[in-house]
Structure 1
Amino acid sequence: MSRPRLRHIAFVVQDAKEMADFYTSKFGMSLFHTDPDGSHFVTDGYINLALIQQRLDGDVPTGFNHFGFQVESVEPFLETLEPKPALRGGDRPFAEYRAIDPEGNWFDLSAHGFLPPGAGEL
């Protein structure tokens, strides 16, 4: 099996559009997805940066939220990680499972990667 690769970092931000504009204009990243809630997703072609729009009625503070590994297959991790990774629900095109490390940090596991299906490398 190939080594898992870090391919995704997520931050909760106060203004996702402004942040996406910053990273696309200053660092040449490409915007590849915008969620209905206003979250923006940009990439350098290798790392996906999720800029999650903070909700005024939510209790999640701004700042680092989670990271994600692209893996060849999720199944071996389902057998070895404790607590067991949880299947992410809904129509998320980016990550299949959410897990937690010993210090309580969230991370995602994805066999198909962190770009939308059909996007290829941007």
Structure 2
Amino acid sequence: MLQRAESPVALNGVEASRTFFAPCFADATTESLWVAHLDDQARCIHLVSYDGNEQAVDIPVRAIIGDAIRLDSAGILLAHNHPSGQAIPSRSDKVATRALMIAAEVIDLTLVDHLIFAGTDCASFRRMGLL
């Protein structure tokens, strides 16, 4: 699902990003992925969501890269949830994020961060040294 961000919100840091994405997962019982496309000043210019199931959500690398090219994004910021209650990246989260990071680098697109929400907890790939 594609959604246009109504007003450009600056997502310049983990706390601003956490505040921005938290409502997306408030009552979620299944995993979902949200991708914020950013301009060169880290302002959200477009927001896209992808639905998963109770245990996983795919990171559609081709679709994300295609949108980034179409939107002329300077960066992307990912957020997804773990309804299980643990904000720890799974092996598949790490592998898919790495694949997206490599694809993004080819087109000079910055993968700013990947946040995982679980209840009130939020983990940042960047803070964990995974990006």
Q: Specify which structure has the bigger relative contact order, considering alpha-carbon pairs within 8 angstroms and separated by 6 or more residues.
A: 1
User: TM-score w.r.t. structure 2 length?
Assistant: 0.27
User: 1 or 2, which has the higher strand percentage?
Assistant: 1
The TM-score normalised by the length of structure 1 is 0.28
Larger Rg: 1
| Structure whose residues are more often helix by fraction | 2
